[in-house]
Structure 1
Amino acid sequence: MSRLDARKRASLPKRAFAYVDSRGRRRLPINDEAHVRNALARFNQVDFENDAARERARKRLLNAAKKYGIVPIGFITGQLHSARAQATHDVRADEFFAVFKHAVDAVEAAAAIQRALGERTRRDELEVRVRIGIHSGRPTLTDFGYIGLPVHTVARVCAVAHGGQIVISGETTEAVGASMPAGLRFRSLGRHRLSGLPDAEALFQVEADGLLATFPPPRTGGRSRRIHDSSRA
């Protein structure tokens, strides 16, 4: 994203900003796709004058996001918070890293997000698909966020998913165990070697009513072998 210097910023019209306060100070530029993504990431850091000003800015930002086909950050975080996410870390534009105390909460949140996006598509006639990957492990929490192999693993799991798909690791299926929510199923996608990881990882797709079900093979670009299908109703 090219930085707006003072001269460029001053040349933009007021409509190029999501928020202009009562003193005329202009915040959250939305003049192009990159700045819309940045504004989405920074929205909750802005000190608005009142709730009405915040709501006006939110609507302007959502309209700008729709123009560029961007999934609004507030929408995703709202779904995560409603699903009892312990914390959300490393938010970058439209990418999220969320931590849950219980694996079942992560799976339910993922399903809720995909269902809500499906409803949004039918209502707005604008199809937006996101990839979701889930892994269970014990990362290390530092002053700079979570680190460790589980963090790398979940990033790789998410990377092999397709838009609209929820892919989880074998560790997550074990962590969910008998707590499987009614109506959700795990379908085996086989074992796949993921970039940077020493061993092949068992991958599963989350299936349920209201979710897309048919996708190409995981985007590993490498060889894989099938494992026993442990789908559960």
Structure 2
Amino acid sequence: MKLVKYLANLGYGSRKQVALMFREGRITDAQGEVLYADDPLDHDDLRVDGEPLDPAPGLLVMLHKPAGYTCSTKDRGRLVYDLLPPRFRLRSPLLSTVGRLDRDTSGLLLLTDDGVLLHRIVSPKSKLSKVYEATLANDLRGDEAEIFASGELMLESEKMPLLPAGLEAIDPRHARLTLHEGRYHQVRRMFAAVGNHVEALHRSRIGGLGLAGLPSGEWWILGDGDRAELFKA
């Protein structure tokens, strides 16, 4: 791939803007030697205004999403992309959220520009569980774990029962729920189906990957070891 297209795909500007950056001598190698648009591509050796390039394509990001942010590039209000470097929103392929957390839900959110990886993560074949911590408006009745584990619970407007889900009562109004599928607003609708209301919801784990102390609103890039941890049974 030509350098102009490569840098444009990383969000450094349009091809015209990147071509101008080359003419202005702003693209160099690690030793400071000015590069030209037809030079060989070496991601790790490229510098823009003396700074190393943003991560190469194939990026997988873990974000600790705060409540109040939307998983969208276009909605009004606060977006999860506002928490990332501005160029990340301009990458091509798009850095997409892997599934969604609704605006009022906090916790672990993955983003990637790798379509194959995205589909592997969300595919039912991967059997990646998702763990949520729910704060409830009312005390647990005591039969929710049995109902959720039955594989017979039907949500309103759904035609298929939910897969069995695990529930652990932390205290009377705090429950940990483990899901093996991802339907629309599933946790909130499950508790609504048993006469309760979720006041706060937090996703703490996907597969074998947890937030590991990552502060709210912060992000980091996942390496090969993290990816392996994600897909652990």
Instruction: Please give the TM-score of this superposition, normalised by the length of structure 1.
Output: 0.26
Looking at secondary structure, tell me which structure has more helix per residue.
1
Instruction: Please give the TM-score of this superposition, normalised by the length of structure 2.
Output: 0.26
Larger Cα-atom Rg: 2
| Structure with higher RCO (Cα < 8 A, 6+ apart) | 2
